[in-house]
Amino acid sequence: MFENFNQKDKKLTSLDLGNPPPRKTPPAPAPDPKADAKPVAVQVCVAQTHTPEGAFVHFLGAHRKFEEMVRIGLKPEVLFYVVFPQQGLTHSITTADGLKTIVLIFTLKAMADAYISAKKLAAVAAACRVEDLSTQADLWMAAGINSYAFNMCSRCFSLTVFPISELQNEDIFLSTWRLDLANRRQFSETYGRNAAAVIGTNAKQARIWLEGMRDHLEPANPYLHWVIAVLAGMAGDMEANAASIKRLNAFGPPFTGKLQGTSFDPTVPGSQLSTMAEAMIGLGASLGYLDPNKMGQAAKLQKEPPGK
C-alpha cells in the first residue's frame, strides 16, 4: 500500500536532510481527482456520540472558530511532510483501488514525527513554506501524487482526502486548512470538558479521553501531557508516567521539572498530584473553555483531587 515517490530537490527543505541524492525520473502522473469530489472520511480512534443535537452544537462551535480564523487572517507559515532523506523521496500512501496517491501534510512537526515513529519509518519531517506550497504541489503532481490529507493520526491512521490541485489555490487551501483546524479545536474542547467533568470520579475514563486527544488532536499541548502523566502515575502505570513527563520536559521552561518524584499523595509537598490544579487550569485555558483568571477553579480542584 505504501509507495515512495520522487521529490525534486529544488523545494525540498527537509530538516537535517544533508546533501540531496541525484534526481530520478518520476513515474507517470496519476489523474487528478475531480475538484468537486467529496472528501473520503474514515473511522477515527476518538469515539464521539453524534446525536443530531450534539452534531449541531459541534458544528456551531467549529463554525464560530472558523469565522474567527477568517476574521483575523490566521494562516500557517510552515507545513510539514515526510521524506526519505537517503533516497530523496516524498512518502505517500495509495488507496486500495489505486485511484488516489496521497501526500500527508502536517500542521505541526510533532504530528509528523509521531506518524514517523508510529510507522517506524526511516524518514524525517521536511518543512515547506506556505508561499512555496503551489510550486511544491507541482512537483508532487509531476511525481504522480494526486491527493493530500491533513494531520493523519499516528494512532488510528485515519484521514480525510482532498484533491492536490487545492494546494495551487491559496484561498481554497486556507479555507480547507482553517476548517480542519476549527474542527479539531472544537473536538479538543469537547474532550477537555468531558475529561474535566469526570476526572474527580472516574480518572480512568478521563485518561482515555485525554490520551485520545493527545494522539489524534493535540500532540503539542504541554498541559495535556502533564495531566496524563499524573493520571498514569496514579493508576500505577509508571512507564506511561515517565513517557509523558519526558514529552512535557521537551517543551522547556516553564514545564521542565514540573513533575518530580513518585509521590501521588496530595498532602505531600511536591507530589505530582499537588500540581494537578495548575495543569488542569492550563489545559482548560489552552483549549478555550476555562478562564485562567478564575482561580476559584483551582481551589475547587485542590479540594477535590482526581479519583482513582
Read off the pLDDT of residues 186-199 as tens digits, 9 standing for 90 and up: 999 999 999 999 99
- Residue by residue, DSSP assigns 218-230 as -TT-HHHHHHHHH
Across all residues in the chain, what is the average pLDDT?
82
Give the length of the chain: 308
Q: What residues does each domain of the chain span? A: 2-182, 221-303
Per-residue confidence (pLDDT) for residue 294, from 0 to 100? 57
H or E element at residue 78: strand 78-84
Range of lowest pLDDT (18-22, 24-28, 195-199, 280-284) = 18-22
- Residue by residue, DSSP assigns 237-267 as -HHHHHHHHHHHHTT-TTTTTSS-SS---TT
Q: What's the pLDDT tens digit per position in 118-129?
A: 899 999 999 999
Range of lowest pLDDT (15-24, 46-55, 223-232, 278-287) = 15-24
Contacts 24+ apart (CB under 8 A), 63-69: 63/182, 65/181, 65/182, 65/185, 65/186, 66/178, 66/179, 66/182, 69/178, 69/181, 69/182
> Where does the pLDDT of residue 50 fall: very low under 50, low under 70, confident under 90, or very high at 90 and above?
low
**Residue 165 reports pLDDT greater than 80:** yes
- Between the CA of residue 215 and those of 97, 212, 235, 245, what are the distances in Å? 28, 5, 20, 16
Per-residue confidence (pLDDT) for residue 160, from 0 to 100? 87
Looking at per-residue pLDDT, the higher value among 36 and 195 belongs to 195
> Where does the pLDDT of residue 19 fall: very low under 50, low under 70, confident under 90, or very high at 90 and above?
very low
**Cα(121)–Cα(91) distance, integer angstroms:** 9
Per-residue confidence (pLDDT) for residue 112, from 0 to 100? 92
Per DSSP, the chain holds a count of helices (H) and strands (E) of: 9, 8
- pLDDT above 70 as % of the chain: 78
With cell 494562516, the residue in question is: 75
**Cα(170)–Cα(178) distance, integer angstroms:** 12
Looking at per-residue pLDDT, the higher value among 304 and 132 belongs to 132
Q: What's the pLDDT tens digit per position in 250-279?
A: 999 999 999 988 889 888 888 999 999 999
**Residue 149 reports pLDDT greater than 60:** yes
**Cα(61)–Cα(83) distance, integer angstroms:** 35
Per-residue confidence (pLDDT) for residue 292, from 0 to 100? 65
**Residue 95 reports pLDDT greater than 60:** yes
Per-residue confidence (pLDDT) for residue 182, from 0 to 100? 94
